[in-house]
C-alpha cells in the first residue's frame, strides 16, 4: 500500500532522519507520493502554497519570471543531504508560493499537505519544533548560498 511505502521511506530521507516513529506516523498521514516529468511544474508563483516536497529522486529548479524569460535562482537535489526539499511558503502567511518550481529531471517526491502539516505542528509542538529546526536548516543554507553568490566571487566583467 502507498501509505505503508511512505511510512517505510520517510526515516531514510536525510531531512526527516532522527524523528521518532510516532512523529513519522503522524507526518505520513499528511503525505502522498508524486512524480514529475522534466519540465513539469511542482507549483507556480502566486498559487496557494499547500504543499511541502521531500525529494526522493531528481532535481528541481526554483525560478522566477522576468520580463525577458525565466531565471533559475537555485536548484534542489534529491541527493543533497538536508537540502533535498522544496517549499516553505506553507509555513508562513499568506501561504502563497513566491517562486515557480519546475522539475529539471525525472523527479519523484513525497508531497505533504500544508494544511495537514500545520495542524499536526500546532497539536504537537515537539514535532512542530523538530520540523521547524529542519526547515530553518535548509533556509539558512539557501540564504547563505544566496548571500555569497551576491558577492559575485568568481567575478563578472570588472
Q: Which of 89, 91, 111 is nearest to 36 (CA)?
A: 111
Q: Does 80 bind other proteins (CB under 8 A)?
A: yes
Q: Lay out the site mask for other proteins across 88-107 (x = CB under 8 A, - = otherwise).
A: ----------------xx--
Among 33, 45, 57, 77, interactor with other proteins by CB under 8 A = 77
Among 81, 92, 126, 140, interactor with other proteins by CB under 8 A = 81
Residue 102 φ then ψ, to 5°:
-130, 135
Restricting to residues 19-48, name those near other proteins by CB under 8 A.
38
Among 33, 34, 73, 115, interactor with other proteins by CB under 8 A = 73
Q: Does 66 bind other proteins (CB under 8 A)?
A: no
Residues 63, 17, 92, 137, Cα dihedral to 10°: -70
**Residues ≥6 apart with Cβ < 8 Å to 98:** 45, 89
Beta carbon nearer to other proteins, 3 or 44: 44
Q: Which residues bind other proteins (CB under 8 A)?
A: 38, 59, 61, 69, 71-75, 77, 79-83, 104-105, 141, 144-145, 148-149, 151-158
Amino acid at each position: 500500500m502507498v501509505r505503508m511505502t511512505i511510512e517505510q521511506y520517510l526515516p531514510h530521507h536525510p531531512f526527516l532522519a532522527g524523528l521518532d516513529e510516532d512523529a513519522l506516523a503522524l507526518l505520513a498521514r499528511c503525505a502522498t507520493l508524486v512524480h514529475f516529468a522534466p519540465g513539469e511544474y511542482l507549483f507556480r508563483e502566486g498559487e496557494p502554497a499547500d504543499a511541502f516536497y521531500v525529494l526522493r529522486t531528481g532535481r528541481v529548479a526554483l525560478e522566477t519570471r522576468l520580463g525577458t524569460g525565466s531565471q533559475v535562482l537555485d536548484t534542489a537535489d534529491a541527493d543533497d543531504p538536508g537540502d533535498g526539499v522544496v517549499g516553505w511558503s506553507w509555513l508562513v502567511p499568506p501561504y502563497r508560493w513566491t517562486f515557480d518550481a519546475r522539475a529539471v529531471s525525472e523527479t519523484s517526491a513525497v508531497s505533504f499537505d500544508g494544511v495537514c502539516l500545520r495542524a499536526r505542528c500546532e497539536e504537537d509542538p515537539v514535532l512542530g519544533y523538530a520540523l521547524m529546526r529542519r526547515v530553518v536548516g535548509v533556509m539558512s543554507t539557501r540564504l547563505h548560498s544566496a548571500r555569497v553568490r551576491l558577492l559575485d566571487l568568481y567575478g563578472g566583467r570588472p
